[in-house]
Structure 1
Amino acid sequence: MKVSIIGATGYSGLELIRYLHAHPYAELVSVHSRTERKPIDEIHPYLQGLLSLPLEAIDHERIMAISDVVFLALPSGFSKELALPFIKNDFPVIDLSGDFRLRERGAYEKWYHSDETHYPWIQKFDYGLSEFRTDSSKKFIANPGCYATAAELSFAPLLKEHQIILDSIVIDGKSGLSGAGKALAPTSHFVQANENMSVYKVNTHQHIPEIIQQFQQWTPKLKAIQFTTSLIPVTRGIFMTAYGKLKEKQTTNQLLDCYQTCYKNHPFIRIQKNNVFPTLKQVVGTNFCDIGLAVNEETDTVTIVTAIDNLGKGAAGQAIQNMNLLAGFPETAGLLQLPIYP
C-alpha cells in the first residue's frame, strides 16, 4: 500500500513516519507540509540515511495519483478543508485531528470554537477506536484523541456489561508535553513545565464530548462524566486514573476476568495482573494500552489505571492500526516495536 502524509513535520506526522518505516506492507511515497519545502531530513536530521523525501506542497491530484491512502496529521481546524477533495473523490482518508469526530450538530463549534460548515461530511467518517470498530472497510476514519482513547478503553468492559453507576464516573488524565503539539505556548515553556504540574481546560476539554459520544454507544443512558486533564513534565505519555462505583459487589479478580474476556482478541490491550499497575515507561514508543485496576470492597469503587503513548496508541499508532484494518493487513503489522526503556 502506498501512503502519503500531510503534516509530516508535526509530532504525529513524524511518528507516522517511524511506524511506516518498519511496516512490511506499506510504502511512504510522499510527505507534505503547509509551509516547508526542504527534504525532510534537512529539517529533522535524525532521519538522515533513513528518509530523504522532499516536503511537497499539498496537491490533492498528485496525492491521489500516487497513493492509496492519505494521513492528515494536522491541527484541528485545517483538516476539515483539506480533506474535502479526497472525500469527494472517494479517496481513503485517516484524519488525526478532531475535525470529524463529533457527530452531533453544533458540538464541533461549541468544543473546538470553529465553524461547522463541514458538518455534512462528518457523517461520512467512522470513529476509529480500533478495538471497537464494526465496519473496518470504511474509507474515511476519524482517529480518536489521545485522552479519549485511554478513557474509552478504560471503561469499555464496564459500560458494555452495565456494571457501573453512570453518574459516578471520574477521569483524571495526565499528559506529556508532546500532546500539545509543536506550537509554542507559555505552559509548554521549559521553565514553566519542568519540575511542575498544572491542570488545564477544566470542564472544557474538547475530548469530553468525544468520550461521552463513545460511552453512549455502549450505554445510551449516560449523560455526563467528570473529566480533568493535567500537564506533567515528561515528553510522551498519557497516564490516566479513573474511578467509578460498581452496581454490585465484585472483587478485583472478577473485574480482571471481565477485562480479560473483553480484550482477549485485541493484541494491543494488555491487562495487568492483580495488584500490578502500568507505568508510562512500559508503553512509550508503542501502540500498547496497558490497564490495571483494583476494587475497594469497602466503598464498591473501582480504580482503573491506564497508560498509553499519546503519540502512539493516542495518535499515529492507532492510525496505522486503522490503516491495517482498512487494507486487510494483520492488525499488528508495523506496530510491534518494543517500548523505549528506560
Structure 2
Amino acid sequence: MQTTCDLNPRRGRTTTLSAARGGSSVPSARVGILGASGYTGAELMRILLQHPYAKIKYLTADRSAGLAFSEVFPQFSYVKDLPRLSKFEDMSPEKWGQEVDVIFCCLPHATTQLVIASLPPSVKVVDLSADFRLADIEVYKEWYGGEHKAPELQKEAVYAITEFSRDQVKACRLVANPGCYPTAAQLPLVPLLRSGLVSQEDIIIDAKSGTTGAGRSLKQNILYCEVTDGISAYGIASHRHAPEIEQGLREAAGGKEVVINFTPHLMPMSRGILESIYVKTAPGKTAADLKAHLQGLYAQEPFVHVLEGSKVPETRHVRGSNHCFINVFADRVPGRAIIVSAIDNLVKGASGQAVQNFNVMFGYPETTGLLSPPMFP
C-alpha cells in the first residue's frame, strides 16, 4: 500500500474544464455509490449535487434496496427526473461495472475487499471503509478480526490524505480514504514529525466525535436519551483508528516507531471531530515554532487553516464543510505544546475528502463541489 454528481439526466456526458485545462474538453465521470443509504452516502449526494463533472449512474443499498430515493433521502426530494435513480438497487457489480468510471465505496468494514476485487480494472475506486487503510495485512487481521481477502489489491492502494498524497492519487486506481480521527490528527502531526519539530514519543490524542461517526444503523449507545446531556469515552486503548494514525506518523518520522495514547469520546452532537493533541517539542523548539511551520506549509491550501492568535478551533466553525481548523498553544509545562484540530467527520473526515481525492484522480480542480462554507449555527 502506498501511503504518503450530477443528478440531472439532461446534462451530457462531456463537460468543459476550460479554466483548468486551457480550454480543452474533459469527460465527466460516471459515478456509482455503494452503500449509499448511510450518512457518508447522504453526504456524498449533498456534495455531488454541486459537482458539475460527476454523473451519478448507480446507488446501491442492500437494506434499502427497492426503496424510493426520496424515501431514504427526503432532503433530496426536490431533485426531479431521476428515472434510473428512483430506487436503490442491489449490489451487482457484474451488471453495472462496465457502465461507471469510479466507485465511491461506503460499505461497512470487512465487506469491501471482495466487492472491489470483482470490479473491472478500468474502474477507479475511492473506498471510505477501513479495508485498505492498513498497509500490513497482519495488522489489519489483528484489529479487524479477519483475514484480508484482497492482499494483491492492498499493495496498490494509496492511503490518501489529499494534502500529502496528490502525486500518488493522480496515478492510482484505488484510494483508501482516511478515517475521521486519523485525518484530524495527521494534518497537524505529520508535518511536525517530518520536520523534526516534535518528538515521536509521548504523543497524546484526546478526541471527541459526534454520533454520526458510529454510522446510521440502530445502536443503543447512540440513541438520543443515551447520548444527550453527557459525554463518554469508548474504545479505550483499543480503538481501530490508533494503528492507522501510528502508521502515518511512523512514515512521517522516517520509519521510527511512534506509539500514541489515543482515547475517543462520544459527544451529544450529530457531527464534528475535535482533537486536543499533546506533544513534546524538540530541544530548543517552542509552540511558536510549531505554529509558524504549519502556517507556512498550509498557507496556500484551500481547506487547512492555521488560526491566528489564540483563537481556538471549534467543531461548529467547520460544520458541513471540508475545512480543517488548527491552532497551537504553549503548554504551561516547559517543552510541551498543545495542538487543537477540528473537522467535520462526515466531510473532511469522510465524504468531502473522498470527493477531494476523486477530483485529483480525474484531473478536476481540487476544490470542485467542496466550496460550500461552514454552516453556522
Calculate the TM-score normalised by the size of structure 1: 0.96
Please list every run of 5 or more consecutive structure 2 residues that lacks an aligned counterpart in the other structure.
1-28
Paired position in structure 1 for 2:209: 175
Query: CA separation in 1, counterparts of 2:198 and 2:287?
Result: 14
Tell whether 2:131 aligns with 1:77: no
> Is the 2:303–2:324 Cα contact (8 Å) retained in structure 1?
yes
Query: CA separation in 2, counterparts of 1:331 and 1:338?
Result: 16
Paired position in structure 1 for 2:94: 61
> Is the 1:283–1:339 Cα contact (8 Å) retained in structure 2?
yes
Letter of the structure 2 residue corresponding to residue 237 of structure 1: G
* Percent of paired sites with the same residue: 35
Structure 1 residue runs of 4+, over 4 Å off?
none
1:220-257: CA deviation from partner (whole Å, max 9, x where unpaired): 11331111100000000001100101012344433222
Pick one of 140, 157, 168 that aligns with 2:174: 140
Tell whether 2:183 aligns with 1:154: no
1:194-227: CA deviation from partner (whole Å, max 9, x where unpaired): 1111111111111111111111111111331111
> Is the 1:24–1:334 Cα contact (8 Å) retained in structure 2?
yes
SS at match of 1:28: strand
> Is the 2:202–2:279 Cα contact (8 Å) retained in structure 1?
yes
> Is the 2:114–2:149 Cα contact (8 Å) retained in structure 1?
no
Pick one of 347, 355, 361 that aligns with 1:312: 347
Query: CA separation in 2, counterparts of 1:244 and 1:253?
Result: 13
1:276-333: CA deviation from partner (whole Å, max 9, x where unpaired): 1111111111111110111236512110000000000000000000000000111100
Pairing of 1:33-112 with structure 2 (within 5 A): 33-35=61-63, 36-50=65-79, 52=82, 53=85, 54-86=87-119, 89-112=121-144
SS at match of 1:56: coil
Paired position in structure 1 for 2:33: 5
Letter of the structure 2 residue corresponding to residue 80 of structure 1: Q
Paired position in structure 2 for 1:274: 309
> Is the 1:238–1:310 Cα contact (8 Å) retained in structure 2?
yes
Alpha-carbon shift at residue 39 of structure 1 (Å) = 2.3
> Is the 1:250–1:297 Cα contact (8 Å) retained in structure 2?
no
Between the two proteins, the alignment pairs up a number of residues equal to 341
Letter of the structure 2 residue corresponding to residue 276 of structure 1: K
Query: CA separation in 1, counterparts of 2:331 and 2:219?
Result: 40
RMSD of Structure 2 on Structure 1 (CA): 1.5
Please list every run of 5 or more consecutive structure 1 residues that lacks an aligned counterpart in the other structure.
none
Paired position in structure 1 for 2:24: none
Pairing of 1:123-134 with structure 2 (within 5 A): 123-133=155-165, 134=167
SS at match of 1:65: helix
Paired position in structure 1 for 2:279: 244
Alpha-carbon shift at residue 57 of structure 1 (Å) = 1.6
